[in-house]
């Protein structure tokens, strides 16, 4: 994700304001917000977490300290919160410690969904074919049941905005995280 793509996404998010999305199962006013940028230490991810960040997330964090997308204005029970770089470092250990058996080296939890405890996981293992992929970690299900949401953060955010905050990856027939990774590896070898 280059800086121009980030700027376009941010402009789109800022223009959303408060909306009633008919595509969401229960009609409710939702608000989206781009938080102001704040300083962060890119080296801390390598030093503290052993993580190499995809360019998409670094470009995003230089432009904003977080996103709040399609947040339920009335009850706060719907919406996507993409954390700041500093909050990711704080939350990472705590969240992974709760479910050590499901997370792998290179998993970076970058946000959460309000109301259901799903987590957004960005794959940050540069040696793996799934580097940069976005997965949705489900609170009660093992990793094999997690959703593969997109092959990049940019694609994930674009699709989420286009779906007006609806969880597009939950459409029947979409692949689990493991299946999506395997399929992408096959496609890469063919292409």
pLDDT recorded at residue 1: 62
Over residues 19-51, the pLDDT tens digits come to 765 555 666 788 899 999 999 999 999 899 999
* Res. 174 pLDDT band, cuts 50 70 90: very low
**CA 136 – CA 11 distance, rounded (Å):** 25
Report all structural domains of the chain as residue ranges with CATH numbers, in order of start.
3-190 (3.40.1580.10)
Inter-residue contact 133 to 180 (CB < 8 Å): yes
Mean pLDDT of 66-81: 90
Say which residue, 111 or 72, is predicted with more confidence. 111
**CA 123 – CA 108 distance, rounded (Å):** 6
pLDDT recorded at residue 25: 60
**CA 89 – CA 87 distance, rounded (Å):** 5
Inter-residue contact 110 to 123 (CB < 8 Å): no
CB neighbourhood size of 100 (10 A): 7
Cα 96–10–127 angle (5° rounding)? 40
- Which of 135, 32, 128, 120 has its CA nearest to residue 78? 32
pLDDT recorded at residue 34: 95
Inter-residue contact 168 to 28 (CB < 8 Å): no
Q: Decide if pLDDT at 177 tops 60.
A: no
* Res. 7 pLDDT band, cuts 50 70 90: confident
Q: Decide if pLDDT at 176 tops 90.
A: no
Inter-residue contact 177 to 148 (CB < 8 Å): yes
Over residues 101-146, the pLDDT tens digits come to 999 999 999 999 998 899 999 999 999 999 999 999 999 999 999 9
Q: What percent of the chain has pLDDT over 70?
A: 84
CA 189 to chain centre: 26
**CA 88 – CA 100 distance, rounded (Å):** 17
Inter-residue contact 133 to 184 (CB < 8 Å): yes
pLDDT recorded at residue 21: 59
């Amino acid at each position: 994700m280059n800086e121009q793509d980030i700027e376009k996404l941010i402009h789109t998010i800022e223009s959303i304001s408060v909306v009633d999305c008919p595509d969401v199962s229960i009609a409710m006013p939702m608000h989206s917000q781009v938080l102001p940028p704040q300083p962060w230490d890119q080296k801390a991810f390598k030093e503290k977490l052993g993580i190499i960040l995809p360019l998409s997330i670094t470009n995003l964090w230089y432009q904003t300290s977080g996103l709040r997308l399609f947040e339920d204005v009335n009850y706060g029970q719907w919406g996507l919160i993409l954390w700041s770089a500093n909050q990711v470092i704080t939350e990472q250990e705590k969240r992974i410690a709760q479910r050590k058996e499901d997370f792998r080296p290179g998993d970076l939890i970058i946000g959460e969904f309000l109301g259901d405890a799903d987590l957004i996981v960005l794959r940050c293992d540069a040696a793996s074919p799934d580097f940069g992929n976005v997965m949705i970690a489900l609170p009660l299900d093992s990793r094999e049941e997690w959703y593969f949401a997109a092959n990049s953060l940019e694609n994930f955010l674009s699709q989420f905005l286009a779906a007006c905050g609806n969880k597009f990856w939950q459409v029947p027939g979409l692949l689990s995280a493991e299946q999506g990774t395997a399929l992408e590896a096959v496609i890469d070898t063919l292409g």
